[in-house]
Amino acid sequence: MVKPRNERVLAKTRGDRLRIARERLFQSARLAAQAIGIAVSTYGAHERAEDPGGRDYGPNEAKYYAKRFRVTPEWLLTGFGPGPTGEAIVYPEQPDPAIPRVPVVGYVGAGSTAHFYDVEQGNFDEVVPPEGSTPSTVAVEIRGESLGTVFNRWIVFYDNIHRPVAPELIGELCVLGLADGRILIKQLQRGKSKGLFTLISSNDKPIQDVEVEWAARVDSIARRPNR
């Protein structure tokens, strides 16, 4: 087993935290990937998550890595919570309690599908909301080009209230809960049949004539501040 280092280390990104956790047990990323059954190229890209040339990982991967590297998925995803034993972790700067913040509850991935973090409330990342936010306002982070080529790592804000589709939402970008369980972020249009809707996005083919159980208008999309 690799001995824990005593020097102070930085854990600013998900990739940094994954590398720190791995270094306690494995000398190299290659050895770790082979031991835990992950493709070497995939694992190496995850250790560069949130950096140029890297590949981000989500809640499911965080759970897998956390179990094998003896940390918590919350720490890998957000930097908060117990870090690896023996490491002097530099946690993210604590937010000013006077500045209101809202939780980042998940991310928007390929096909504009929303993926929600399966961690305890209070362990999510938090961001400063736009003006006019409400107690119901939450956020999701855009990953990749699901909402357009320029929006990777931007933040989508909306009110997490599940209401049936209202006429004023037609033509708007919305968070949508479909009857088949999917949650998508798409522009909402009327479908060809009564009670059905067509969902539009810039990077995917329209989804024609689907049943939408609830809809919430996207209030704003903002660039994520550097951490």
Instruction: Place 202 in a pLDDT band, splitting at 50, 70 and 90.
Output: confident
Q: Model confidence over 100-110: pLDDT tens digits? A: 888 888 888 87
Domains along the sequence of the chain with CATH: 8-90 (1.10.260.40), 102-222 (2.10.109.10)
| 81 pLDDT more than 70 | no
Higher pLDDT, 13 or 177: 177
Phi-psi region of 155 (alpha: psi -120 to 50; beta: other; left: phi over 0): beta
3-state SS record for the chain: CCCCCCCEEECCCHHHHHHHHHHCCCCCHHHHHHHHCCCHHHHHHHCCCCCCCCCCCCHHHHHHHHHHHCCCHHHHHHCCCCCCCCCEEECCCCCCCCCCCEEEEEEECHHHEEEECCCCCCCCEEECCCCCCCCCEEEEEECCCCCCCCCCCCEEEEECCCECCCHHHCCCEEEEEECCCCEEEEEEEECCCCCCEEEECCCCCCEEEECEEEEEEEEEEECCCCC
- The Cα–Cα gap between 188 and 201 comes to 9
Higher pLDDT, 160 or 52: 160
Q: Model confidence over 154-176: pLDDT tens digits? A: 899 999 999 999 999 999 999 99
Higher pLDDT, 15 or 144: 15
* Mean pLDDT confidence for 193-197: 93
* Mean pLDDT confidence for 38-51: 90
- The Cα–Cα gap between 140 and 62 comes to 17
- The Cα–Cα gap between 77 and 124 comes to 8
Res 94: pLDDT: 56
